[in-house]
Chains A and B, each alone.
Chain A
Amino acid sequence: MVESKANCEQVWREISNYVDGEVDTALRQTMEEHFQSCKRCASVLAGMQNVVQLYGDERMLEVPAGFSRRLEKRLASDVAVRGEGKGKRWSSWSAWLVPVAAMALIAGSVVLMNSLTFKNFIQSRHAQPGNNIPPDLVVVVSDGSKLFHVPGCAFIHDKASERTMTAKEATRDGYVPCTRCLRQYLKTGLTPPSGQQVAAAASEAEEEHQEQEEDLSLAGH
């Protein structure tokens, strides 16, 4: 049976709707009869179904190499920043750590020149907790641990649950200082460390942290 040209054109107009199941029963039946008798339209239908099937395949959704990693990193930094402070950009440790670390690096380089001071750092790791810690020092606590840390300490448990607070608040809430990142405060019977020493310790903690998590992008945030 030879189909009329008009009939084929009508089929072509509706063929996409047919593939999507969006034609009524009568039209569907008419078209199916047409496909059985018209090789050209059957070929158009088969081709269109093939196109829809191929392009609809998940494998067609390709992303550039490293896309997922970069996205995850971006979300890890920006979502943490935006979320915790509900819009306050400097609420997350990963954000305010930048200026702190920068100051610490500058001050630390001076302090580390002083060998006597440096010696003090490695003394008295077991000591009374927190007596010399400045109450306003910003520290980090996290779930599953009763320690508080200098931001960026490599020994923070479950980093995803990190919260920042002052040392005073942490102590009030029953947290005790980490003997690694806060060890310079744990000496007994000594004068409180100078600002430079604090900075040097923060610097050291930061270096440790950066070695462990060099992937964490801080630049620009």
Chain B
Amino acid sequence: MSEPDMVLINPEQTRPTREQDLILNVQRGQNELFYELVRPYERRVFAAALAILRNEQDAEDTAQEAMLKAFANIRQFRAEARFSTWLIQITVNEALMRRRRERTVVMEGIDDRRPDEEAEYAPRDFADWREIPSEALERKEVRQRLAEALATLDRKYREVFVMRDMEHLNIQETAEALGISVASVKTRLLRARLMLRDLLAAGWEQGWFSRLPFEKGNKPW
């Protein structure tokens, strides 16, 4: 089987120095360039806040606050760090503080009922994986289904998954952002990925992806 390189590519590693120029110029006082600097990350910032707060309005408020905080602290940003990671970490901090403040954690009490993080999780047995091609993401209902599946995960799994696989933080960065150990990140990430795999497979059975383009005669499996 070929290497799963595809999932390891980080698009930011090839980001040109335009971003560094922008950072430097904002640090020197060209405030009007700040939005241009953060614009490429606005969706990631929102997604990070949403993963923690689970409420779009709260997530939007937090995203805005996080951006302003990033601006206020822009002179503390050091070039050796990734700007996106720095921004996401600020966002996560803001979101966690807000959750603590507003006690929304009460609504997620269900998480506490499952302390079995270390227990084995046996993935469901599907003889063949029916691949959902990336093109399917063009359809809003597919994106919606995937988002719904993600939303069913317990908080600790969802947060790690979002930081690692949607925000593209590495394991260490995910651990730092969420304030948990590297080992916990790995364990939770494994569980999250396995559960989502099972949820998507179940989704096939429920007809979530029944009208994908390739069903019209171009089956990839």
Q: Could you say which of A63-71, A118-126, A167-175, A177-185 contacts chain B?
A: A63-71
| CB contact between B60 and one of A54, A57, A64, A82 (< 8 Å): that residue | A64
Q: Are A52 and B60 in contact (CB under 8 A)?
A: no
Q: Are B166 and A55 in contact (CB under 8 A)?
A: yes
**A43 interface contact, C-beta 8 A:** yes
Question: Which residue of chain A lies nearest to B199 when distances are taken between CB atoms in the complex?
Answer: A51
Q: Could you say which of A8-16, A149-157, A196-204 contacts chain B?
A: A8-16
**A7 interface contact, C-beta 8 A:** no
Q: Are B1 and A71 in contact (CB under 8 A)?
A: no
A19-53: CB near B (< 8 Å → 1, else 0) gives 11110000000001001100110111111111111
Q: Are B71 and A67 in contact (CB under 8 A)?
A: no
Cβ of B194: which chain A residues have Cβ within 8 Å of it? Answer: 12, 15-16, 44, 48
| CB contact between B122 and one of A12, A32, A39, A47 (< 8 Å): that residue | A12
Cβ of A56: which chain B residues have Cβ within 8 Å of it? Answer: 7, 165-166, 168
**A58 interface contact, C-beta 8 A:** yes
**B97 interface contact, C-beta 8 A:** no
Q: How far is the CB of B158 from chain A (nearest CB, A)?
A: 11
Which chain A residues in 75-121 approach chain B with CB under 8 Å?
75-76, 78-80, 82-84
**B134 interface contact, C-beta 8 A:** yes
Q: Are A71 and B126 in contact (CB under 8 A)?
A: no
B13-56: CB near A (< 8 Å → 1, else 0) gives 00000000000000001011011001100111011000000001
Q: How far is the CB of B174 from chain A (nearest CB, A)?
A: 11
**A17 interface contact, C-beta 8 A:** yes
Q: How many residues of B contact A (CB 8 A)?
A: 60
| CB contact between B165 and one of A43, A52, A76 (< 8 Å): that residue | A52
Cβ of B3: which chain A residues have Cβ within 8 Å of it? Answer: 21
Q: Are B6 and A19 in contact (CB under 8 A)?
A: no
| CB contact between B71 and one of A39, A50, A79 (< 8 Å): that residue | A79
Question: Which residue of chain B lies nearest to A36 when distances are taken between CB atoms in the complex?
Answer: B1
How far, in whole Å, are A221 and B129 apart by their CA atoms in the complex?
A: 55
Sort chain A's interface into a size bin.
Answer: 35 or more
Q: Are B127 and A52 in contact (CB under 8 A)?
A: no
Count, A-B residue pairs, CB within 8 A: 166
Q: Are A40 and B127 in contact (CB under 8 A)?
A: yes
Question: Which residue of chain B lies nearest to A21 when distances are taken between CB atoms in the complex?
Answer: B8
How far, in whole Å, are A61 and B198 apart by their CA atoms in the complex?
A: 22
**B217 interface contact, C-beta 8 A:** no
Q: Are A45 and B71 in contact (CB under 8 A)?
A: no
Q: Are A67 and B46 in contact (CB under 8 A)?
A: yes
How far, in whole Å, are A221 and B130 apart by their CA atoms in the complex?
A: 54
Cβ of A21: which chain B residues have Cβ within 8 Å of it? Answer: 3-4, 8
Question: Which residue of chain A lies nearest to B125 when distances are taken between CB atoms in the complex?
Answer: A40
B178-221: CB near A (< 8 Å → 1, else 0) gives 00000000100110011011101100000000000000000000
Q: Are A58 and B6 in contact (CB under 8 A)?
A: no
**A213 interface contact, C-beta 8 A:** no
Q: Are B146 and A19 in contact (CB under 8 A)?
A: no
How far, in whole Å, are A78 and B120 apart by their CA atoms in the complex?
A: 49
**A211 interface contact, C-beta 8 A:** no
Q: How far is the CB of B190 from chain A (nearest CB, A)?
A: 4
Question: Which residue of chain B lies nearest to A17 when distances are taken between CB atoms in the complex?
Answer: B186
**B150 interface contact, C-beta 8 A:** yes
**B128 interface contact, C-beta 8 A:** yes
How far, in whole Å, are A48 and B63 apart by their CA atoms in the complex?
A: 29
Q: How far is the CB of B198 from chain A (nearest CB, A)?
A: 8
**B68 interface contact, C-beta 8 A:** yes
How far, in whole Å, are A57 and B137 apart by their CA atoms in the complex?
A: 8
**B102 interface contact, C-beta 8 A:** no
| CB contact between B1 and one of A16, A22, A45, A70 (< 8 Å): that residue | A45
Given contacts A64-B56, A67-B63, 7 further A-B pairs with CB under 8 A are: A16-B194, A20-B7, A61-B44, A62-B43, A74-B68, A75-B67, A161-B32
List the 3 closest pairs (A to B, CB-CB), nearest first.
Answer: A47-B197, A46-B129, A83-B31
Which residues of chain A have a CB within 8 Å of any CB of chain B?
Answer: 9, 12-13, 15-22, 32, 35-36, 39-40, 42-64, 67-68, 70-72, 74-76, 78-80, 82-84, 160-161
